[in-house]
Amino acid sequence: MSDIPPIVVGITGASGAPYAVRLLEQLVAAHRPVSLIVSKFGMRLLDTEVGIGSIDALRTAVGKDAWDSCIETYGNDDRGAPPASGSALTSGMIVCPCSMGTLSAISVGASRSLIERAADVTLKERRKLVLVPRETPLSAIHLGNMLRLTRAGAVIMPAAPGFYHRPKQVSDLVDFVVARMLDQLGVEQKLVKRWEGEAVS
């Protein structure tokens, strides 16, 4: 493992499992240590959307050697794990995808699970917290929770891919969003060419 503090990655039950898998692939490719927490509904989502039915299957999908060198997993019910304490250093946290239930719980400091507690710790320690919801349309309750979290210091990053890079396949759309996540986490990425403006004639 690296001497760099880990990035805490939470996977919850909102749609968007391909984003989570691609994010993990890119983090281990960058040799960044990861503290991974997958909720029960996050695991069901992985199975439903990408056919990954267990943590071991996720390890295989990401790459066993890279996984073993970079990723430490914790149960979502283990509120005694390192991410639950502010004294355990991290390089921030991302919840991808982030269900509206998880977002709501984080917005009120519920801390009912390790993901929620780790997010609460990330906010109180003034570390980067990135939440990636994938929901539409948004209710006033959703928007209110997002505003409360933004004011508390979190980054709300809806999984909304752009099209100016002219994607040709679904993986291009996934990479667009994951590239923005990596930018927020301070991890170098070359998934998507950066916008350089258009020539004006």
Find the mean pLDDT for residues 122-144.
Answer: 97
Q: For 159-195, how does the pLDDT look when each residue is reduced to its tens digit (9 = 90+)?
A: 999 898 889 999 999 999 999 999 999 999 989 888 7
pLDDT at 31 over 90: yes
Q: What is the pLDDT of residue 201?
A: 61
Q: What is the pLDDT of residue 105?
A: 98
> Helix (H, G, I), strand (E, B), or coil: what is residue 64?
helix
pLDDT at 197 over 60: yes
pLDDT at 60 over 80: yes
CA dihedral angle for residue 52, residue 56, residue 61, residue 63, rounded to 10 degrees: 170
Show me where the domains of the chain are located: 7-185
Find the mean pLDDT for residues 58-68.
Answer: 97
> Domain 7-185, what architecture?
3-Layer(aba) Sandwich (3.40)
What is the C-alpha to C-alpha distance for residues 112 and 20, in angstroms, rounded to an integer? 22
**Residue 183 CB coordination number (10 Å):** 15
Inter-CA distances, 28 with 90, 98, 166, Å: 16, 21, 27
The pTM of this model reads 0.95
pLDDT at 200 over 70: no
User: How far does Cα 101 stand from its chain's mean position?
Assistant: 15
| Confidence class for position 2, pLDDT limits 50, 70, 90 | low
